[in-house]
């Protein structure tokens, strides 16, 4: 555990001293705040127009705002996550500092989990500021927004982020070039994101593509529904790519031996 914590502390320190991390977090929070404000104004305008036209029936405006916000938040992860993971291994391999890790009394599992937990901690720190407008809507909306929608939405965001971080760290372990790692990570993310709209919209292949689509699974969380199959899907992605990263790091040690 000491080795894992040492790697975790070292990697987390790199994030908080890097200006790139602050720029990424700042842009992410700024865009989320802008879209949230836009969604709220659009919902208010929609409600006002409905009342003026005599269609003042019950409308779940706060639920629609939150669903749209969570879908945008998940979309932003496509662009943000590659920036968080591109240098986890690629930069160390380029500078030669990976040699120190390979010759230190630390196992591959400790290295991989230490780096992964550091990236996940950074990701959580990005999500925390987005709670401010969400909690404001929760306490000011009437009727009050169900708490399960907020909890499910953020749980889905954590699972999506955790899955993409696991994939991104694996790709970063395969190359010494950060730009290549970022581009490859984004390309694979995009394929998984739109896989359900590739090919025929019907048939068995469409069902299979739908299961492997991140969007399909995250939509349930954005609506406040926690599906067991979605939990298994995201959990499997995380375990699978973390395992591949361990094997990739292990191969580095064998090549140097």
**Residue 102: Cβ within 10 Å count:** 19
Indicate yes or no: pTM above 0.85: yes
Return phi, psi of residue 224, to 5°.
Answer: 90, 15
pLDDT tens digits, 46-60: 767 766 666 555 556
pLDDT tens digits, 110-155: 889 999 999 999 999 999 999 998 888 888 877 778 888 899 999 9
Residue 21 class from Cβ within 10 Å (0-12 exposed, 13-18 middle, 19+ buried)? middle
First to last CA, the chain: 25
Alpha carbon of residue 248 to chain centroid: 22
| pLDDT at res. 255 | 60
Angstrom distances, CA of residue 18 to CA of 76, 112, 185: 20, 20, 20
Q: Is the peptide bond before 143 cis (omega within 30 degrees of 0)?
A: yes
> Two tokens at 200?
């025929």
pLDDT tens digits, 62-79: 778 888 889 899 888 888
């Amino acid at each position: 555990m000491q080795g894992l914590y040492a790697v975790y502390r070292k990697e987390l320190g790199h994030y908080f001293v890097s200006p790139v991390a602050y720029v990424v977090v700042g842009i992410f929070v700024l865009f989320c705040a802008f879209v949230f404000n836009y969604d709220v104004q659009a919902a208010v305008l929609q409600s006002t127009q409905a009342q003026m036209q005599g269609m003042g029936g019950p409308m779940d405006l706060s639920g629609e705002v939150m669903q749209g916000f969570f879908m945008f938040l998940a979309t932003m992860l496509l662009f943000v996550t590659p920036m968080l993971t591109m240098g986890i291994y690629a930069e160390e391999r380029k500078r030669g500092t990976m040699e120190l890790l390979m010759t230190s009394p630390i196992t591959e599992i400790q290295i991989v989990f230490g780096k992964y937990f550091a990236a996940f901690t950074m990701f959580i720190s990005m999500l925390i500021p987005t709670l401010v407008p969400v909690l404001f809507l929760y306490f000011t909306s009437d009727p009050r927004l169900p708490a399960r929608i907020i909890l499910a939405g953020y749980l889905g965001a954590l699972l999506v982020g955790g899955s993409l971080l696991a994939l991104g760290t694996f790709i970063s372990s395969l190359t010494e070039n950060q730009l290549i790692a970022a581009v490859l990570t984004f390309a694979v993310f995009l394929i998984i994101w739109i896989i359900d709209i590739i090919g025929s919209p019907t048939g068995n292949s469409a069902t299979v593509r739908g299961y492997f689509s991140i969007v399909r699974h995250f939509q349930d969380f954005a609506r406040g529904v926690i599906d067991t199959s979605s939990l298994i899907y995201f959990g499997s992605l995380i375990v699978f790519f973390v395992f591949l990263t361990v094997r990739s790091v292990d191969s580095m040690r064998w090549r140097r031996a």
